Structure 1
Amino acid sequence: MSGQPTDSKSKSIQIEDFEGGRRFIQGRVIGFSFGKLFGISFGVLWIGLGLMMPFLSEATAPGIAPMLKIVTGSVMVLFGVFIVYAVRRNIGRVLEVDLANRSIRAFVIDNNNRRRAFREIAFQNITGVFSEFDESELQNTNCSESLIINYRGWPGRLYALSGRSEQMAMVRDFILTEALHRQPALIVDGVDSFIAHTKWALKQRMKWQ
């Protein structure tokens, strides 16, 4: 959704250890934004049009049977409700650093505990881990930063988490010391490397979806 939040709150990052690695979880309460306002307004518009559909006159909608108007209106209302729900849902961002499988998994979970935007990155494909901060908060001692992971592949950059500077430093240091500084996996150049990486990515996606 487009638009920059003007009243967005990010919860503190939680740390959980799991077999072979560690995960960082960040809840987020989405505040007001022009994108969110547009999305809700667009959904309400579809709901309103759907409710009006069964009451359209023959002159306005010639040749449409009353039952078809009801069915069409119901579909439009459901579509509008879906849009409003999707815009309003709270999202939790998850970053898993799996030391056993030498990979980083990033995804978001909605309030129905469903995974979305799943992404898997092998350690050997990571080219850098750093953080970016808002220049407007340079004078703020508790300025917010975003953790950035650059990697070989498309789109090549992952905005993993956002939080206070000390939180970002903790996550970044863990990835650099516990993950990236370990013995890298064997890299095979050429077509064999591409085929091996594709098989690995598909296997991991099927395992964790």
Structure 2
Amino acid sequence: MGKYPPPDRLLGDPARVILCAGTPLYRVHASHRSPAAYNSRPSHPFYYGGRFDSTPHDPYGYLYVGFGPGAAVCEVLLRSLPFDGDGGPRLLPREVFERRSLSFLRLAADIEVVSLMSAADLATVAQDPWLIHAEGADYPQTRDWGHWIRRHTAPWAQGFVWPSKRDPADRVAILFDDRGMEPALEPTGAVSVDFGTEEGEQWLNGVLAPYRTRTAPRLPGRGV
């Protein structure tokens, strides 16, 4: 398990991958946020935050995307949502999705990222699958590793790409706003899906169905 401090120096040659302009990407985000806007608020070094978020120790704008809508939805909405063992579907709490949307994006230009797709790729940055499989309790450590990888792949690495933990057949990526030209992403023209609307919730349930999950029912007397 790769839960140990980063070494003093990088001994391997990190795996580089070009993500081509026009690649479709999907982002689940707070509905008030512009679909292609980077998150500019650093996370706490030791408590809340995502796998590779910035912190005050390494501040940068960042955003997470999925290469398919299922991966984008699963990575954001299905974190730590277990099955109860009776064979029934999982219920997604309404507070998790009602203020979120999914947007359809594409890369505006070719970008170069660090690949964390395989055990060999991970070994080039002195890590193993723990880095991309760790749960939230270990995110302070994965953030520290992300900062270390960024330092040792400056200035070329514009993000990381890895297999989705919650939909392993698909990929997810983080993109940084301080490497390369902006904007890295542009809207495709398709209208975002607002999960807080009746139509958006129906769309979301269609995506969730293969994962044996559905949205929790609305409480009586509560509007849309």
> Same fold per TM (> 0.5)?
no
TM-score (norm: length of structure 2): 0.27
- Report the structure number with the largest CA radius of gyration: 1
Whose strand fraction is larger, Structure 1's or Structure 2's? Answer: 1
TM-score (norm: length of structure 1): 0.28
Higher relative contact order (CA 8 A, sep 6+): 2
